[in-house]
Amino acid sequence: MINWNSILAFDKNGNPTPDKRVEKSDSEWRTFLTEEEYRITREHGTEAAGSGDLCYSYDAGIYNCKCCDTPLFDSTIKYESKSGWPSFTQPIKENAIKYIQDSSFGMIRVEILCNTCDAHLGHVFPDGPDPSGLRYCVNSASIKQ
């Protein structure tokens, strides 16, 4: 199980190797992403709290990357964090997510990206429920179910 120390180690020592890589040009990404999806996934944007289609949806299934369709999260580890964004306690596989330190907005956070295509997903925080203590705070526009 991934915990906060694992995430800090990935950020410092290198992320797990993904099963595959998907790389496209900006124009290729724009051919199938909406403007909002492109802004969030490719330009590291954030949707307004509570505005995403998947924020309050708890249907069973797998959440995949909107850009490359890589499985990222399972609905069984989704929970209501009251943050306004879909929240998960673990990725579906250790190598599904890439972790990058983010010091924007005057704070230090850990950005989460799809490890296959580098799509910005959101951030992970050490304030989630047991047993991992993690809250993967994800933009609805970056995932699909």
CATH number, position 117: 2.170.150.20
User: For 2, left (φ over 0), alpha (ψ -120 to 50), or beta?
Assistant: beta
Q: Is 121 helix (H, G, I), strand (E, B) or coil?
A: strand
Give how many domains the chain has, as a whole number: 1
- Range of the structural domain that residue 10 is part of: 4-144
> Is 137 assigned a catalytic role?
yes
Give percent of the chain with pLDDT exceeding 90: 89
Burial of 20: CB neighbours in 10 Å, binned 0-12, 13-18, 19+: exposed
What integer is the mean pLDDT of 96-108? 83
Choice among 67, 68, 117, 137 that is catalytic = 137
For the chain, the helix, strand and coil percentages under 3-state DSSP, each to the nearest 5: 25, 25, 50
At residue 62's C-alpha, the angle toward residues 53 and 89, to 5°, is 85
Residue 105 pLDDT exceeds 70: no
Residue 139 pLDDT exceeds 80: yes
Among candidate residues 96, 36, 93, 29, the one with its CA nearest the CA of residue 67: 29
Residue 40 pLDDT exceeds 80: yes
At residue 136's C-alpha, the angle toward residues 32 and 28, to 5°, is 15
